[in-house]
Structure 1
Amino acid sequence: MAWRRPPGAGVGARGALALLALTLCARGARGRALEWYSAVVSTEYVDPQTNRTVWSVSESGRFGDSSPKEGAQGLVGVPRAADRDPEGCAPDTSFLVPAPGGRGTAPWVALVARGGCTFKDKVLLAAQRNASAVVLYNEERHGNLTASMSHAGTGNIVVIMVSYPKGREILDLVQKGIPVKMTIGVGTRHVQEFIGGQSVVFVAIAFITMMIISLAWLIFYYIQRFLYTGSQFGSQSHRKETKKVIGQLPLHTVKHGEKGIDVDAENCAVCIENFKVKDVIRILPCKESLRMSRSCPLQNRPLEVFWLQI
């Protein structure tokens, strides 16, 4: 016998999914968004061996959090003691700015390494030396990556970060006395969303609640299924016993002119049709008679059904 799912099955699952959707779409589940801008870095210098101009343009920089998002340009300057203090943190740090043809060095861009002091200290020191922009290159262990920089209170000076390989490439040229002109442009706007601590707690609580509701629904569902299946097996057992009792009833064949049975007057207690000669009937304990056939010709239903109802 095929088992049929009781009405209402699946409602709990749909409710749990709806709760999860509401949880993920809730305002509290959204974290803060981090917005930052990439920087287009262009360098230009004359190769002393070939006397040819070498150009390089790439969107490899990243603007600082407090930096104005605007362009800047100038000759690159590095700390004079770049081998000992490439970070440019010492108060007496001075910058070497090679200039073509011995011309003045303004405007110029300070190139310093990350570390040694805060971003803010580096930027303020370079600004005191009249730098028009500050370029920090990342640490070697970070490879080609850049990072966000917090340097509030540095004014309107442009601040960007480039990768370690890019910074070292420019630093080596300047240390050789080769003038390098750098142009900084505004690149692509990026928005990075992440979940805060409070949002994680909110989502965790909502998820646990959803799991509790789902577990409660599953328990109720399987209890209902067990009871439903048990009732079906009980009905089958009862029907078998009924068939057995019916099979034990005495049989009798109707004959014409038989004493005690008037064919024209007697009828079946179930289908209420007159008996016919040669009909095989069952004699009930109450002395009523039923046809031997297992179905009533009037109702077209099994006689066991009527017996169960009685």
Structure 2
Amino acid sequence: MSKFLLCALVFCCLTNRSCSVVQLKSVYTSFPDSPARFTGGLNGSAICGDLRLADPIDACSPLLNEVEYSESGSERIALIVRGGCAFEEKVRHAQDSGFRAAIVYDDEHNQDLISTVMGSSEGIWIHAVFVSNAVGEILKEQAVAKGGECCIASFLDETAWTVLVISFISVLAVITLLVMVFFSFNHRWNHIQQPGPIVMEGEEVDVIPCIMYYSANLTGHVGETCAICLEDYKDRENLKLLPCNHVFHATCVNSWLTKWATFCPVCKHDARVGIVSSE
């Protein structure tokens, strides 16, 4: 039986987006992915190993997979479908079963890949990424085949390293000159303070209107899933409606606005615009 080599290469760009590359019989196709913020980072290294379907595939309970030891040192990577429980719970079950990494794919054919995957990082050391349903189906076909391999790695191949070194050498003189100019005129900017991260205060977040979710009374601007935690809404849960009409779990969006940014995680609209103060 011919072996299929799949490689999901994840690299961090200046835009904090990443890209997966699936290699199937030397044919490369690029797909967008979203690395989980709460899992272990790659730090320029790679995780390679056999791709295995999680059992159960949604990983909402302890996995039945037997992750055997390999003399070649090859790791095991779990392929998991989204839904049924929190992304964080799936990753913890994969880690507890001995998997070195987890790839969670969307259970729906969404056009837009959710880019905000959050959770608690306490006790989690394996790496995890989120991919689309289409990519998941491709990986799923290969995961059931013996010899199917997968790699999750920082995209720094030999060519990239060469370009990086050449670029570094080319701009080294320019950087040195800029540093010298900066320090020579540093007294002109001593009074300027570097701004800290822009977030919202708790009082500002508190005035954002809340609504209670009822699946039987869905409106046009209320979906069924929170784009921050990837969890489906449950009846009688408190949601918050941002000025852009996007809705999230109240606890999720409170944490996002007070710790990460002031804009909507979906459309990037400034959540401070359009909020009416209670004062």
Larger radius of gyration: 1
TM-score by length of 1: 0.41
- Structure with the bigger percentage of helix: 1
TM-score by length of 2: 0.45
